[in-house]
Structure 1
Amino acid sequence: MKAVIPLAGRGTRLYPQTHTKPKAMVRIAGKPILGHILSSVASAGIDEAVLVVGGPMQAQIREYATDAFGDEFDLSFPEQEDPQGLGHAIHQAEPAVDGEPMLITLGDMLFENGYRTFLDAHETLGAADASVGVKRVDEPSHYGVVDVDDDGSVRELVEKPSEPPSDKAISGVYVVEDSDALFDALGHLIDNDLRGAGDEFQLTDALQRMVDTGSTVRTFEVDDWYDCGRPETLLEANRVLLESMETNGAGRLENAVVVPPVDIGADVTVDRSVVGPYVSLDDGAEISDSIVRDAIVGKDAVLSGVNLDHSIVGDAASISGEPQSLNVGDNSDLSL
């Protein structure tokens, strides 16, 4: 089985953080989002990963994945030159998948349960050409939604419907045994310019075509997931991941109070300050005369005389003053 991870999206919901890096390279709890995903994929026993990349910053993904995970995975990097939706992104992976089963997981989603849990759940479903992770939600019209027959097989999948057929939202993880059938469905959509929601080629629509042409698609339950493509849920994911870690690097700080859980990168300086709980400090960050809580602080960022809570600070940003909550992009310089 191969893991397919689409990573070519522009990450507009995470501006200004993604002006200078792909959203999968935003660091939380000690490593980029992509690092957490690949670590979980490796723990599931998968050793081949297909990373669909695109755009001018794709080299960051190629370099990081190769350097950090090149010994664990056989990596390939098909390119999506013109992003036209999730279905279009997955279609670019066809030559690399080469007819094998695949686990599809989105490049900005983190799950409380690991992928091994999902693969085990898929195996308990019996004969299925594909399965989709779902969770009941209060506002299904904001998601892709599935409707299921009494025998557990999917009869309808629809993306962001105005009148949802159920409250089962697609959670962004898929297990596909018959990858040829999925790629045939995606090819049909693209060849006939059958665009769906957002005027894009939707993976949901391709799965529906599989159902319509006789494939069996089933569902498995997913507990909480975190959409790291938005600031609020990015901070939430940071908190959840830090809860599962031991505070890292506090012993190097002599004139600071560290309130766990906190992740501290290399060459970090904290002077006359309090950091934590739920703070992730990237390499080279400098903090002085400040209080920082529930925050993600980027590489080489400088904070002086601030009281930050529920904030994201980009790489090499410099902030002084007394702000309370910020989302500051890379290389910014603020005085408040």
Structure 2
Amino acid sequence: MKAVIPAAGQGTRLYPQTHTRPKPMVRVAGKPILGHILDGFRDTQVDEIVVVVGVMREHVEEYVTAEYGEEFEIVFAEQATAEGLGHCIYQAQDHVVDEPICIALGDMLFDSGYGEFLDAHSDLDGVDGSIGVKYVDDPTSYGVVSTADGVVDQLVEKPSEPTSNLAISGVYMIEDTATLFDALQHLIDNDIRGAGSEYQLTDALQRMVEGGAAFGTFSVADWYDCGRPETLLDANRVLLDKSDETSAEATSGMLIQPVDVGSGVTIERSVVGPHVSVDDGATIRDSRVRDSIVGRNAALSSVNASDTIVGEDAVVEQSPMQLNVGDSSEVEL
């Protein structure tokens, strides 16, 4: 089976972190978002992965090839212009020929690996695909499905008046890929744009349903949208809580687990944690840091930081507040 990962998003809601890298390469709990997604396909029947790239594609291609090229057959497709998720998935067409695929969004992380979702899909009989869903109180910010007799009868992207509370969680299993790409091509050829004036995957799936395709659903317990600073920090907390690894002691100071500390990190006269990931080469001195992400080679001095993101090579001094600092920035208060 193949997986398709749309990893072309610019990630404007994650500025300034995405000024210097594409959204899937923003780091959380010690590795890029995309790395956690690819880890989720280990020990599954997926052996080939199509990664759709866009802005700053070289960051994605270099990382994926170096870290996962020996585990999976990796191919890259390009979305030259950002015109929506449906348009992004359409770019994978040449690499998927009438084969079942798993679509895994490039900014969503899950409590469980994709093997659980693949098994849940396999348990459904006579379907052309299935969609991971979760009951939410307010589904207006999500794609929404409604069902009848266990089969999807309607899909709508970000409805103002939802017909159900079943939110699409960002993982899809498609058996009838030829019909999916036909539906996507119909949207593009006829310039049928949905929410956000973009070509939506949800609209293509709805077209399939209207044409008689049968879609089942499977439950997703929890997912973490890494597309905003606050949700990225939430994902960092959850992933660190789940980690079995315990970081080494600080150079001089205290680590309050769970934390993830990279190689070559210096922590002096500081208290770091809980829920802090510190990337390779970073320096933290005379500081208190909790619930934060500190980038590679960043330097923090006399900082009291909580719910803070500090980019690579950034310098932060004398700061008593919550911050979101981009790469190679300097902040002194």
Normalised by the length of structure 1, the TM-score is 0.97
How far apart in 2 are the matches of 1:137 and 1:2? 29
The answer as to whether partners of 1:286 and 1:303 remain within 8 angstroms in 2 is yes
How far apart in 2 are the matches of 1:299 and 1:97? 37
How far apart in 1 are the matches of 2:276 and 2:231? 15
The CA deviation at 1:98 is 1.8
How far apart in 2 are the matches of 1:324 and 1:120? 45
The CA deviation at 1:53 is 0.2
Could you tell which deviates more after superposition, 21-30 or 285-294? 21-30
How far apart in 2 are the matches of 1:248 and 1:66? 28
**1:218-272 per-position Cα deviation (integer Å, ceiling 9, x unaligned):** 1111111000011111111111111122454424x33121110110111111111
Please give the secondary structure, in 1, of the residue aligned with 2:77.
coil
How far apart in 2 are the matches of 1:247 and 1:50? 30
Matched, 1:75 2:74: yes
The answer as to whether partners of 2:40 and 2:112 remain within 8 angstroms in 1 is no
How far apart in 2 are the matches of 1:267 and 1:129? 50
Q: Would you say how many aligned residue pairs link Structure 1 and Structure 2? A: 333
The answer as to whether partners of 1:91 and 1:187 remain within 8 angstroms in 2 is yes
Aligned equivalent of 1:221, options 205, 219, 222: 219
The match for 1:317 is: 314
Please give the secondary structure, in 2, of the residue aligned with 1:9.
coil
Residue type of the alignment partner of 1:28: V
Which structure 1 residue ranges, 5 or more long, are not aligned? none
Which structure 2 residue ranges, 5 or more long, are not aligned? none
Aligned equivalent of 1:165, options 163, 166, 173: 163
How far apart in 2 are the matches of 1:68 and 1:261? 25
RMSD: 1.0
User: What is the correspondence of 1:1-336 to structure 2 with a 5 Å cutoff?
Assistant: 1-55=1-55, 57-149=56-148, 151-251=149-249, 253-336=250-333
How far apart in 1 are the matches of 2:114 and 2:327? 32
The answer as to whether partners of 1:246 and 1:261 remain within 8 angstroms in 2 is no
How far apart in 2 are the matches of 1:110 and 1:310? 19
How far apart in 1 are the matches of 2:328 and 2:104? 31
Moved over 3 A (4+): 246-249
How far apart in 1 are the matches of 2:52 and 2:319? 41
Please give the secondary structure, in 2, of the residue aligned with 1:52.
strand
Identity of aligned residues (%): 60
Please give the secondary structure, in 1, of the residue aligned with 2:205.
helix
How far apart in 2 are the matches of 1:289 and 1:155? 58
The CA deviation at 1:41 is 1.2
The answer as to whether partners of 2:9 and 2:24 remain within 8 angstroms in 1 is no
How far apart in 2 are the matches of 1:289 and 1:140? 44
